[in-house]
Structure 1
Amino acid sequence: MNHDQSSGGPPTIADVARLAGVSRAVASRALSNEPRPVSSEKRERVIAAATSLGYKPNLLAQSLTTKTVNLVAVVVNHIHDLSDLDLFDRLIDQVQTIGKQVILIRIGSVARVEEFLRNGVAYHVDAALVFSDFADAPTVRRMFRSDHVIMLNGLHDEFSPVIIPDEHAGIAEAVADAASKTVRTAGLVTGRASSLVEQARIRSFHEAFSRYGINLLKTVQGDYSYESGHAAAKAVADADCPDAVFCTSDAMAMGILDVCRTDFPGGRPSRFRLYGFDNLSLTDFDAYPISSIGYDKSLYVRYIVESVASPGNFRPGQPPVTVPTRFVPRLTA
């Protein structure tokens, strides 16, 4: 298709519309993520015309018109443990299905948050998904100059949507399973103590131990990583090890299992039982048959993406959206 542009400058949406034989409005909708429908035949003509002309949409102009930039910020402490990989690949894929792209922002400390605010670093995004436990809801709203902040870390307030797993039920099921197998003493390997989510998780374990008459002998702090579980193994699984060791991440449980392979012939416990947390995809394979606590990640991601796509559905003060957890038995228990 040949087209003689009258202006001699870069092709415009009007040039695309003229070549495709449609109105400018139809051409604009065909090349954007607007929900208003365009027939597949017209869309194909518009895309062919845009390709022929070498037309590139003006994203800034689109954002001024639609009040969106089709970007979603995902705010994390870091991405270094296995549960991050399981979750974020799925999350990014589903955010892209609603026509938006993800930018990852790593905040490793409270000081880093303050640096963002002090230096005026801000991104224009349609929504921010906050996994980092170094930033509360008011701070993130200031960071992005936006009210559409979805809190996933326990540091929420009444003005932001909240989506969190209900971990209490899954923890109670896991401890009940241990008690049914005559476990009377336990060790607990935890994550970062400053995390409100982790604090609630630890309280749930303590409550369940008390309910089922299990004596907590040892607590070791890790950081959710495989390395920290590997390092904790000596402390929790020494000659005086408890009947069961509970970890607040599967990655830490994997580290312990690798140090203590001789205690798990064929994956089954001989000295102590081992429980993880997160129900990682790796625990379905023979190398790490770890009993775990998990939730439906597809449902969790669906709730997040629905909140991104429909911000008007949130009303200040509404209760958190919760995703139930469950105990998943495997060989190590």
Structure 2
Amino acid sequence: MSTSASRPVTLADVARRAGTSTAVVSYVINDGPRPVAAATRERVLAAAAELGYRPNRIARALRSRVTGVVGLVLADALNPYFGALARYVEQGLAGHGRLMLMGNAGYCAERQRQLVERFLAAQVDGLLITSADAGDDTAAMARAAGVPAVYLHNGPASGQTPVVAADNEHAVEEAVAHLRAHGHHDVAFLAGPHDLGPVGRRRESWQAAAGAGGTLLRSGYSRAEADALIRRLAATDAVPRALIAATDEQAIGVLSGASAAGLPVPDGVAVVSLDGTPDSAHTAPSLTVTGQPLESMARQAVDLLFDPTGPVTAPHAPLIVRRSCGCET
């Protein structure tokens, strides 16, 4: 039921229906600042429900200077890795009674900076930034505005803003050791077009673990580009027998390219991927991955927004064994 089709229900409408004052209705809706008798509270809530009253979030924000909204700057909304990370961030914020407002940077540093500026102009309560290359410390704008911020997945190597990321070093070491246990001495690595961000650190960890026996390959971060790379290598019989892909998107492209070239996985090329997105369990064959601890990363980053003194740790990325490496699971 509503008071009119032409205007929203107000506190005054609820007060009239409940037979009390607008101040009392405000105390009930906002949980304070003054206590309300239980019977009166129930009467107000019943009237609000009957009239379909919805609190005006903007008006409340102007009064309290708290919007109840946190901005998430996502490196690439089309990448399932970041999509899964955003879902866990949203769940974590809900536990703190906050809504998530998301913006897609599309791997563009300038777009990332613009999003941070717009979120700050919208007076968000906090910012989470999944920076792709971490070239600029865009969170510095939030610090200057007095808005808490946390980098998630990647951030500048130096700076005052906490960065929550997985323990990629040990994850890569485990992946190399696992492929060697399958008898592969030479373990190749498929990196991105450059060595910025987490992929660069994963590449460095691979180089330290594989030594001089591994081949470094590069492609863009899309399935299509990795697919094309494997097809080109297969044409000259140059596909490595064991390969670690920096991302699941690349790994899925490797599977596609190998299939098109008639190269069996894992017998022709054994594959391990370093993301562990939900898609990785449903490829053919299923991908062995180092599962990025997305849920614990998101939870830690969200908690740091509300308690900056909390610990910053690098959660373990465990090896999840499936068929693409040569295991019969």
Decide: shared fold, TM above 0.5. yes
Q: Distance in 2 between matches of 1:222 and 1:184?
A: 26
Aligned residues: 317
CA contact (8 A) 1:161 1:320 kept: yes
- Give 1:307's aligned residue: 304
What 5-or-longer segments of structure 2 have no aligned partner?
none
Alignment of 1:150-189 (within 5 A): 150-152=150-152, 153-155=154-156, 157-189=158-190
CA contact (8 A) 1:141 1:147 kept: no
Deviation at 1:231, TM superposition (A): 2.1
1:273 matched to 2:274: no
Alignment of 1:105-116 (within 5 A): 105-108=103-106, 109-113=108-112
1:90 counterpart (88, 98, 104): 88
1:200 matched to 2:201: yes
Q: Distance in 1 between matches of 2:161 and 2:292?
A: 23
- Give 2:148's aligned residue: 148
Alignment of 1:19-168 (within 5 A): 19-20=17-18, 27-28=25-26, 30-32=28-30, 45-53=43-51, 55-108=53-106, 109-113=108-112, 122-133=121-132, 138-142=137-141, 145-152=145-152, 153-155=154-156, 157-168=158-169
Q: Distance in 2 between matches of 1:36 and 1:286?
A: 58
Q: Distance in 2 between matches of 1:126 and 1:98?
A: 12
Deviation at 1:301, TM superposition (A): 2.2
Amino acid in structure 2 at the alignment position of 1:185: D
CA contact (8 A) 2:247 2:275 kept: yes
Q: Distance in 2 between matches of 1:49 and 1:118?
A: 40
Deviation at 1:147, TM superposition (A): 3.2
CA deviation string 1:307-331 (max 9, x = no partner): 23x2xx214xx87332111111111
CA contact (8 A) 1:71 1:100 kept: yes
TM-score of the pair, normalised by structure 1:
0.79
Q: Distance in 1 between matches of 2:94 and 2:180?
A: 44
- Change in Cα spacing, 1:121 to 1:69, as seen in structure 2 (3 Å) is closer
Deviation at 1:17, TM superposition (A): 4.4
TM-score of the pair, normalised by structure 2:
0.80
Alignment of 1:233-272 (within 5 A): 233-237=230-234, 238-261=236-259, 262-264=262-264, 268-272=265-269
CA deviation string 1:28-47 (max 9, x = no partner): 46545899999998766434
SS in 2 for 1:124: coil
1:290 matched to 2:283: no
Deviation at 1:54, TM superposition (A): 5.0
Q: Distance in 2 between matches of 1:190 and 1:207?
A: 15
CA deviation string 1:243-295 (max 9, x = no partner): 2011011121111112213433xxx5112211112112223236341111113
Deviation at 1:65, TM superposition (A): 3.3
Q: Distance in 2 between matches of 1:149 and 1:136?
A: 17
Deviation at 1:178, TM superposition (A): 1.0
- Change in Cα spacing, 1:323 to 1:84, as seen in structure 2 (3 Å) is same
Amino acid in structure 2 at the alignment position of 1:219: L
2:315 counterpart (290, 309, 323): 323
CA contact (8 A) 1:70 1:100 kept: yes
Amino acid in structure 2 at the alignment position of 1:263: L
CA deviation string 1:107-164 (max 9, x = no partner): 2423335656899983310111100235667533426834311112222655323211
Q: Distance in 2 between matches of 1:97 and 1:111?
A: 31
CA contact (8 A) 2:191 2:246 kept: yes
Amino acid in structure 2 at the alignment position of 1:133: A
- Change in Cα spacing, 1:275 to 1:72, as seen in structure 2 (3 Å) is same
- Change in Cα spacing, 1:114 to 1:218, as seen in structure 2 (3 Å) is closer
- Change in Cα spacing, 1:127 to 1:176, as seen in structure 2 (3 Å) is same
CA contact (8 A) 2:187 2:241 kept: yes
RMSD across aligned positions (CA): 3.7
Deviation at 1:25, TM superposition (A): 6.5
- Give 1:229's aligned residue: 226
CA contact (8 A) 2:142 2:148 kept: no
Question: Higher mean Cα deviation, 245-254 or 38-47?
Answer: 38-47
